[in-house]
Structure 1
Amino acid sequence: MTYRSNHPSGPNDTDAGIIVTDEFERFSQRNDIFTRAFWDDTVRSKHTDGFFASYRMEAAPRRGDGFTQRDFALRNASWLISDLVSNRDAETGKREGFQAPIANDTPVAAERAAIDDPAKISAEIKRIAAFFGADLCAVTELDERWLYASRVDTRDMSDAPNDLPAGITHVIVLGHQMDEDLVATYPSALAGAATGREYSHEAAIVMQLAAYIRNLGYEAVASMNDTGLVIPYALKAGLGEYARNQMVITPDFGPRLRFSKIFTSLPLSSDAPKKLGVAEFCNVCTKCADACPVKALPYGAPDVSTQTSSVKGVRKWTSDAKKCFGFWAKMSTDCAICMRVCPFNRDFTKWQHKIWLKLALSPLRKVALWLDKHRGARVKPAEWWAKDMK
């Protein structure tokens, strides 16, 4: 499949909150900050090797609450299923789910199921996604701009072709909710278990849902962080709106999600993007930027970034990826303080938070921000361990 390198405009961009300029360039995955940590000396530091080694329990620091051996042990165990998938084809330079799509474990059925109603099959896909464990599911058209210009050969970190099967027309975007109690303990190795658990969940879910679609006789490529940028697809599928903290804010779980995707030829009915009012709220809220310990998050209005690890020619809030990753490396674990302190980090199944959400997405957003002023404090990891696990 051949893609155009530049395509400044696209359907539904305005409703999705995506502002693409004439300087747009598709992103090369080799420039992702985590991939750069393997080849770019300006990103590497004395902490980088220890950061990656800690995920193998080879360099796990023992330095206080949230960073003990059992904290790292739980975090690393939570990654296990994702790691098994990503490492199974490593000798060929393909880290599945991260620097390469997840390889098909089942063939496309020779007999193709007849699809007469795309809306009906879309509803069915959402039902099956929920059956396998996805918390959110929506559909959008394939938009070539958000596919990586190239993927990465992990043997030497060189560019590699980023191809999809012929006939791909749609992207199924799945959301996976992170554990609220663990997120409350960021920054800590313990909190990293919330991240790893969802990567393991989504690996299983996208593989199973993609297999179901292939069993119907249609192409389905299971994908996590690989192949393309998931945030634009999530926005265009109507799952939420982009925020200052670089996350998609959903009306179901706020920012407390991981996303995966499936590229498919199944004839589907697409969901519409929605303007919720998150951007207007972020215009008056800087809690994430204020809380960032290395000041990696932006103040002010969205702008077009020239950073190596940011997609070129898109007007948006952009973090300083080198500062952010540097802090991760120093702690030997991921950081999501910006997720923890986000006013949208709430349980929206509760009536009081539903009322708050209506305020936050209305002209009364400053009232909602005032009501949030005492929320978002860090919970000590020891308190999580002390809870009754029943």
Structure 2
Amino acid sequence: MTYLPNHPAHENDAEAGIEVTEGFEPFVQRNDVFTRAFWDKNVRNKKTDAFFASYRMEAAPRRGDGFTQRDFALRNASWLISDIVSDRGAESGAREGFQAPIAYDTPVAPDQIKVDDPAKMSAEIKRIAQFFGADLCAVTTRDDRWHYASRVDTRDMSEAPNDLPEGITHVIVLGHQMEKELVSTYPSALAGAATGREYSHEAAIVMQMAAYIRNLGYEAVASMNDTALVIPYALKAGLGEYARNQMVITPQFGPRLRFSKIFTSLPLQPDAPKKLGVSEFCNICTKCADACPVKALPFGAPTQSDQKSSIKGVRKWTSDAEKCFSFWAKMASDCAICMRVCPFNRDFTKWHHRLWLKLALSPARKIALWFDKDRGGRVKPSQWWGAIGK
């Protein structure tokens, strides 16, 4: 794909904090580090195999607080709905929600409702998203730069076509809040339940949302990690701003979110991206990089990466995906220490955290960073279990 700086879909890149260069290349999904763990000898080893096996309780280590059978049991149970959905297309090599979009469970209605006011329809979609359980919802236009150049056939991990139905014009981006108390216990198998729960939640929500839109007579493709990179779409939809820890920082929940999306032909009014001041804060804060056990997160300014598991031709903070995943494999669970220690990981329903947020996004950000110096410590997983019944 040729980089076109004046293309209408690219005109709000600056507001979204996205900097694309002439060396841009759409990402090949086969090269994401999780998929490489199935075919690339530079990533796959006994520990990565054990990591995946632990989600089936086949290799769950028992090595203390946060990694007991009970911790793994809750984590794995939290993934159940997502697993059921992703396993549906196994025979055809389509791991739905991850290496392929979620298949239609309802057809597009033959009668199409008339949409005279896209802004009103966008408001309706946001209300329906809230009804089904999404914590955030915003709309942006389709931008094929962020679509995978190819998807993955999981039968042999080869490249497969990454197609969408005709007429897709907009993307609905949904945010799903992770439980703060569980996030506080990272790194642990218990904390992984916060991730799995939201993947199961988002699977149900995007399927229901897509079904609603198809019932209105329009195309709607439910999507999780498949089809396209969700972070650029979340930025373009104005949900937040990209941070050093590779996450989208939102004013409502900080980095404590999972994102999903729906590709649709429904006429909608896009939301505008907006600069918040997060990148300016990250320029003076390295708490996530300092806390990373394997030093996978970057120090310094955003750069272009030539790593196999990162997109080419985008200037941004980029992690070393191989180092990061190696630590996940060692623990047999996901790690989000960088999320836990992030100064934006706060409960913004409380007034003093909202006050801190205003300070952090202002020229007084150094004062906000000073106030945060003693936060972000790990809570013992046993404390989460111990709070039950109290």
Residue 7, structure 1, aligned to residue 14, structure 2: no
1:89 Cα offset (Å): 1.1
Cα distance in 1 for residues equivalent to 2:295 and 2:117: 50
Q: Which residue of 2 aligns with 1:342?
A: 342
Cα distance in 2 for residues equivalent to 1:389 and 1:210: 38
Instruction: Provide Cα deviations, 1:130-175, integer angstroms capped at 9, x if missing partner.
Output: 0000000000000010000000000000000000000000000000
Cα distance in 1 for residues equivalent to 2:121 and 2:380: 45
1:46 Cα offset (Å): 2.5
Q: Which residue of 2 aligns with 1:332?
A: 332
Cα distance in 1 for residues equivalent to 2:169 and 2:237: 14
1:305 Cα offset (Å): 0.3
More displaced, 380-389 or 264-273? 380-389
Per the alignment, in what secondary structure is the counterpart of residue 263 of structure 1?
strand
**Which one-letter code corresponds to 2:220 in the other structure?**
A
Q: Which aligned pairs between 1:311-390 and structure 2 lie closer than 5 A? A: 311-389=311-389
Instruction: Provide Cα deviations, 1:218-245, integer angstroms capped at 9, x if missing partner.
Output: 0000000000000000000000000000
1:388 Cα offset (Å): 3.0
**Which one-letter code corresponds to 1:172 in the other structure?**
I
Query: What is the alpha-carbon root mean square deviation over aligned residues?
Result: 0.6
Cα distance in 1 for residues equivalent to 2:77 and 2:364: 43
Q: Which residue of 2 aligns with 1:178?
A: 178
**Which one-letter code corresponds to 1:7 in the other structure?**
Y
Residue 81, structure 1, aligned to residue 77, structure 2: no
Cα distance in 2 for residues equivalent to 1:52 and 1:165: 32
Q: Which residue of 1 aligns with 2:72?
A: 72
Q: Which residue of 1 aligns with 2:25?
A: 25
Q: Which aligned pairs between 1:182-261 and structure 2 lie closer than 5 A? A: 182-261=182-261
1:44 Cα offset (Å): 1.4
Aligned residues: 386
User: 1:54/1:367 Cα in 2 relative to 1: closer, same or farther (>3 Å)?
Assistant: same
Instruction: Provide Cα deviations, 1:94-115, integer angstroms capped at 9, x if missing partner.
Output: 0000000000000000000010
Q: Which runs of 5+ in 2 are unaligned?
A: none
Q: Which residue of 2 aligns with 1:91?
A: 91
Instruction: Provide Cα deviations, 1:66-118, integer angstroms capped at 9, x if missing partner.
Output: 00000000000000000000001101000000000000000000000010000
Cα distance in 2 for residues equivalent to 1:165 and 1:82: 23
Per the alignment, in what secondary structure is the counterpart of residue 140 of structure 2?
strand
Per the alignment, in what secondary structure is the counterpart of residue 195 of structure 1?
helix
Per the alignment, in what secondary structure is the counterpart of residue 96 of structure 1?
coil
1:124 Cα offset (Å): 0.2
Instruction: Provide Cα deviations, 1:256-283, integer angstroms capped at 9, x if missing partner.
Output: 0000000000000000000000000000
1:6 Cα offset (Å): 2.8
User: 1:110/1:320 Cα in 2 relative to 1: closer, same or farther (>3 Å)?
Assistant: same
Cα distance in 2 for residues equivalent to 1:388 and 1:183: 16
Q: Which aligned pairs between 1:101-120 and structure 2 lie closer than 5 A? A: 101-120=101-120
Residue pair 1:6, 1:26 contacting (<8 A) in 2 also: no
**Which one-letter code corresponds to 1:92 in the other structure?**
S
1:7 Cα offset (Å): 2.6
Same amino acid, percent of matched pairs? 81
Residue pair 2:210, 2:221 contacting (<8 A) in 1 also: yes
**Which one-letter code corresponds to 1:243 in the other structure?**
A
Instruction: Provide Cα deviations, 1:266-320, integer angstroms capped at 9, x if missing partner.
Output: 0000000000000000000000000000000000000000000000000000000
Residue pair 1:175, 1:260 contacting (<8 A) in 2 also: yes
1:389 Cα offset (Å): 4.0
Residue pair 2:3, 2:21 contacting (<8 A) in 1 also: no
Q: Which residue of 1 aligns with 2:286?
A: 286
Cα distance in 2 for residues equivalent to 1:52 and 1:237: 33
- Scaled by the length of structure 2, what TM-score is found? 0.98
Cα distance in 2 for residues equivalent to 1:275 and 1:49: 41
Residue pair 1:256, 1:345 contacting (<8 A) in 2 also: yes
1:11 Cα offset (Å): 1.9
Per the alignment, in what secondary structure is the counterpart of residue 46 of structure 2?
coil
Q: Which residue of 1 aligns with 2:139?
A: 139
Cα distance in 2 for residues equivalent to 1:175 and 1:203: 12
Cα distance in 1 for residues equivalent to 2:331 and 2:189: 8
**Which one-letter code corresponds to 2:199 in the other structure?**
Y
**Which one-letter code corresponds to 2:335 in the other structure?**
C
Cα distance in 2 for residues equivalent to 1:48 and 1:184: 25
**Which one-letter code corresponds to 2:222 in the other structure?**
A
